[in-house]
Amino acid sequence: MLKKARTASRVAADIRSDRSTRRGFLIGATTAAAGVPAKMCRVVRQVRKPCLVYKLLAAGRQCGSPAEVRQAFEFAYRSIEATDAAIVGMYPRYSDQIGENARLVRELASAMPPRAVS
């Protein structure tokens, strides 16, 4: 348990020390500095308690097209544990982002193989 805590602390310290990652790093699949989302996902998978992940859409930088949004959601949901959850910011002024995101998550969840809860 202590080893896992140290690993998480080390990754968090690496992220804090690298100023280029301060652009909304946790999960944002392609906009964050190379490798940071993957490191954070590894930490999330190592933690035994449920985690909340955020910044899936990298503060709007992953919203250029429906395909880009889908890619960000797929990356996030394939990278976290079954007991984890995602927080997604939405601005439904110009489209029904709430409905679109809900449909996308249902579609992705139904296509994913069942995962055991550890």
Tokens of 66: 């429906």
Tokens of 107: 């579609």
Report pLDDT digits (tens) over 60-110. 888 889 999 999 899 888 888 888 888 998 888 889 999 999 999 999 988
Collapse the DSSP code of 40 into the 3-class scheme (helix H, G, I; strand E, B; otherwise coil) and give the result: helix
Q: What is the per-residue pLDDT for 114?
A: 75
Q: One-letter amino acid identity for 70?
A: R
- Whether residue 4 is predicted with pLDDT greater than 80 in this model: the reply is no
The length of the chain in residues reads 118
pTM of structure: 0.65
d(CA 104, CA 99): 9
Tokens of 86: 């995602």
Nearest alpha carbon to residue 118 among 45, 58, 60, 34: 45
